Structure formats: structure tokens, C-alpha cells
Amino acid sequence: AQRVTQPEKLLSVFKGAPVELKCNYSYSGSPELFWYVQYSRQRLQLLLRHISRESIKGFTADLNKGETSFHLKKPFAQEEDSAMYYCALSGQLGGYQKVTFGTGTKLQVIP
């Protein structure tokens, strides 16, 4: 079974403050982790994936297999970062992927 846990439903930070959105996962195989984001009135879209090791819009996320975590971080929050963030895990079975999402964290950046 694969499971993704996002413990915070809402995270409020002031503009310029650091952001950390928590994500923990459970998976018996080698996981592929993602962060998806949904801005107001837009569709769900990919923000970043762990295999790319890239920084998107200033966000980074490091896969920690020991702690089974994939926290999303940004050093300085901006108002346009306000959105719903979902952590997701892709598991493979027979060559086909099944992507499991967490319950999401709403990030609110206060001006």
C-alpha cells in the first residue's frame, strides 16, 4: 500500500518568512515523489519532482528516505505562493503508475 500524509491543513506565514510544507509517505518500494499546486481558479499542476532535483519558483524539496519525508521549502514566501499544495507519490505495479495524493495544505501568505 502507498500512503501520503500532509499533517497541516492550513499554513499561514508572513511575506518574506520561510515556508516549509510537510509531507510524509509510506511505500514499500522505491518511491517517486512530487509536489502539485493548485492556484485559485486554476487546475492542479505539477510544481516539482524529486528526481529532477530542481528549484521551481524558489521552492525545493529533498527526499529523505530515512525519515520517509519530502518536505517542500522556500526561504522567502511571496504573496503569489498562496495556493493549495498536494504531495504525491507514484508507485509502480506491472509497469503502470498509480499516483496517490495527500490531503493537501493550504498556504496563505499574509502581506
Partner 1 sequence: DAGVTQSPTHLIKTRGQQVTLRCSPKSGHDTVSWYQQALGQGPQFIFQYYEEEERQRGNFPDRFSGHQFPNYSSELNVNALLLGDSALYLCASSLVRTLSRELFFGEGSRLTVL
- In the complex, the residues that contact partner 1 under the rule CB under 8 A are 4, 6, 9, 32, 34, 36, 43-46, 49, 51, 86, 90, 93-104
Q: In the complex with partner 1, which residue's Cβ is closer, 66 or 107?
A: 107
What's the CA gap between 84 and 76, in Å, rounded? 17
3-state helix, strand, coil in the chain (%, to 5): 5, 50, 40
* Least distance to partner 1, CB of residue 18, Å: 24
* Least distance to partner 1, CB of residue 25, Å: 13
* DSSP character at residue 37: E
